Structure 1
């Protein structure tokens, strides 16, 4: 009888330890699931960004002598939206894109000059990017100005600005190295 009395509550302790282990496993699984969801979202945004950059790069390639015009047009839209030392908001950028699109000629139904075709293409591509919640910008790639100049097409999302400078929310620093935590993708176009 003495042995049975000393065993009282042991079953309850075993159940509590088992529940504690189970709770730890469930929390670990939940954290892993959240991490997987975040990685999937990031992958989706990168895929969208590559699609947008590819559309813009191919459009530039069709009109090879107009890459500077493309850069100026895309950069103007971003610059109009730029607010110094503030968080970057994609909805503000997309409002400017909508205004730009309304003023662009419709080269699908009328004959257009090269400058008008560029404006039409830029408006169409940027509007499509905004539907994907992506901002685009074009800058001269670091270290390529002059005879071997290449264009860096930058796609960004969330709070990241599509720029290559030392601003707070910029995609990269001035030398082109990605900033930690930035949500962007860059592709060179010739």
Structure 2
């Protein structure tokens, strides 16, 4: 199964990209780095620049149809950039429209808020997003991982890098279920 990893050209938290990426590879799936621009994305370790990663597909040139699921890595700047890009927001919303599973960690639910897909859902995130999620009609919980099956697809969310092992296990299970 092809799984999209959507990031902005700059600001993704490296471990929140590379940890899930490796988990997807280890599970025998194909991770695909999608961004708003071609070239490379600049990852960060908190506020310090880290590695760069090659973009494989550009959000305006691809669609949810070609993926079995979507992973939204966090980082403070990454989802803030994504939520300002209409094509990225539409790309995220299309996974929900098509009933495809989505996983988001840390600050990534900001993009979900912008895509107007949290209403009626229970999710977790970095604690500072609690008010944004609540104001967007979602219910925020402080849990390591939350799987919400409101609607035709499942949403898997997690709080922080320390939760990566549980996050990866949960989203891989959900993605496998929904691909059957």
What is the TM-score when the length of structure 1 is the normalising length? Answer: 0.26
Q: Which has the higher strand share?
A: 2
Q: What TM-score do you get using the length of structure 2 for normalisation? A: 0.27
